[in-house]
A and B are shown apart, each in its own frame.
Chain A
Amino acid sequence: SQTIHQWPATLVQPVGSPLSLECTVEGTSNPNLYWYRQAAGRGLQLLFYSVGIGQISSEVPQNLSASRPQDRQFILSSKKLLLSDSGFYLCAWRGGYRGRTEAFFGQGTRLTVV
């Protein structure tokens, strides 16, 4: 069966520090991968998605970047965190032709920038 791992679960980082969140998927190949951010009490904002190794689509210009060095690995990074980067970060994967399947989410990383 397929599983998705996302870590860490919580993170407190000072302003200006770097960030690296990792997401890995097991039990499937060539998944579509996604990073979302959710502010407290609000909806999900799509940050990046990837349909293959090295292929990244960025949806919102901001202080973050994403990379997909391996088929089932998706990394969210920042060189210098801002206070506004605080939030709940969710990784998701989906398969199927042209994404016409449901997405499966990791348990999320709660990031607090102080």
Chain B
Amino acid sequence: GESVGLHLPTLSVQEGDNSIINCAYSNSASDYFIWYKQESGKGPQFIIDIRSNMDKRQGQRVTVLLNKTVKHLSLQIAATQPGDSAVYFCAENKGPNNNDMRFGAGTRLTVKP
């Protein structure tokens, strides 16, 4: 479910390293998942999505992995850059008609030069 009451977990990586951000989702009936990036003071921006009939999807420097067995989602960022520093959220479609969209707790990624 939503973890809005928790402080964000943090991940610190060196520039050029790969980053892996994890997310556990709650509803086994969720069929669509999205990763968002949120920079300070701004609204979240779409990064990549994946449907439940897939277990992997690749974009530019990003890969999303979906493990439905354990209800786990991960975002891999290759060759992390300082501009990747932000908070990353996963979101899942929930509700009886899959119309509401719930966010995970988020992870703050800090890239060290």
Contact = CB atoms under 8 A, between A and B. Distances in A.
Interface of A: 32, 34, 36, 38-39, 41-46, 49, 51, 57, 59, 90, 92, 94, 98-100, 102-108, 110
A108 B42 contact: yes
Contacts, number: 86
Q: Could you say which of A41, A99, A107, A108 has the most chain B C-beta atoms within 10 Å of its C-beta?
A: A99
A102 B45 CA distance: 9
Contacts of B43: 90, 92, 105-108
Candidate in A34, A39, A44, A100 with the most chain B CB atoms within 10 angstroms: A44
A102 B8 CA distance: 23
A45 B34 contact: no
Interface residues of B, number: 32
Contact of B89 (A32, A34, A44, A57): A44
A56 B2 CA distance: 20
A44 B98 CA distance: 18
